[in-house]
Amino acid sequence: MTWSCVKCGTANLKKERTCQACGARLPFLPPTDSTVHAETPESFRVPKTGELTALLYQGIQQLRNGLISTDEFQERVESALQNVPLVFSTILDEIQDKSEEMTGYGDGVCVSLMDCQALFESGLAELLQFVEAGDDFHLRFGWLLLEKGENEYVEILKTLKRDSANRAFEGADNVLGRLYESLLDQVLTESEYQADLERFETVSRETLKEIDALISQSVNLAKKTDEMSFAEASVKLQEASDKMGNLLLNLHAVEAIETAG
């Protein structure tokens, strides 16, 4: 079995991970024989946002700007349409290979994947209709289907990846849990994950020091018992309260904590 490069149209053997003519990757690795390469293939690779549709989006922009012809764009869409069954057969093969390690995966997940495949195929068919008819409705509707298919595919892959690794940890509603889940889902690299943890600790400690200093200042001002000092003490205490509130909120945010002011 071969797969056709969406970018240049070259036919590549199924064992190849990248196009041998231009170096472009198939959005997901084509099926490979275990005898062909020795490394352990990555289980259920989760694509980054827009990765699946990047070349098609580029093709639309190139077509709009007159950089490629209608025929060239049509060839790109037809190549993508040809590769869709190959992509999904790869995932189904992986599920079959890992069926003993994963529980609860039967007809349901296969139906979900087939529905997702249908979205991709329908979206690409709409793009072909756009080429033939020149009607922007087909372009807009086709792109909507492709985006929906991509979003659903990513979510399915995230779940499959977690379950194939027997991950009991599902993440937690705090910054540490979400960072760890991003690492497992390969949104973050190991070095990025470690750097974010260090930054999280540093900024949290700095914020706590600021809060501690504000509380001390507030109490010392309040000890003077005069009205002006007490008013200033109240302002300092409010600043401490605001910083503490922001810190607690940020502990449950995906974004890195930032010190106030």
| 113, pLDDT greater than 80 | yes
pLDDT at 209: 92
pLDDT digits (tens, 9 = 90+) for 210-254: 999 999 999 999 998 888 888 899 999 989 888 887 777 666 544
| 255, pLDDT greater than 70 | no
| 25, pLDDT greater than 50 | yes
Mean pLDDT computed over 16-21: 72
| 18, pLDDT greater than 80 | no
Token code pair at residue 241 = 């309260």
CA distances from 145 to 49, 61, 111, 119, 125 (A): 15, 18, 17, 6, 10
Neighbouring CB atoms inside 10 A of 135's CB total 12
The predicted model scores a pTM of 0.50
How far the first Cα of the chain sits from its last, in Å, is 60
pLDDT digits (tens, 9 = 90+) for 27-44: 543 333 333 333 444 567
Q: Looking at 48-57, 136-145, 155-164, 206-215, which range is the least confident one? A: 155-164
Of 4, 59, 56, give the one whose Cα is nearest residue 26.
Answer: 4
Alpha-carbon dihedral sign for residues 148, 150, 156, 158: negative
Mean pLDDT computed over 149-159: 84
Neighbouring CB atoms inside 10 A of 28's CB total 20
CA distances from 146 to 30, 82, 112, 138, 143 (A): 20, 15, 15, 12, 5
Beta-strand relationship, 2-4 and 11-13:
antiparallel
pLDDT at 45: 72
Three-class SS state of 12: strand
Mean pLDDT computed over 107-128: 88
pLDDT at 17: 59
Give residue limits of the domains in the chain. Answer: 2-168, 176-250
**pLDDT category, 200, cuts 50, 70, 90?**
confident
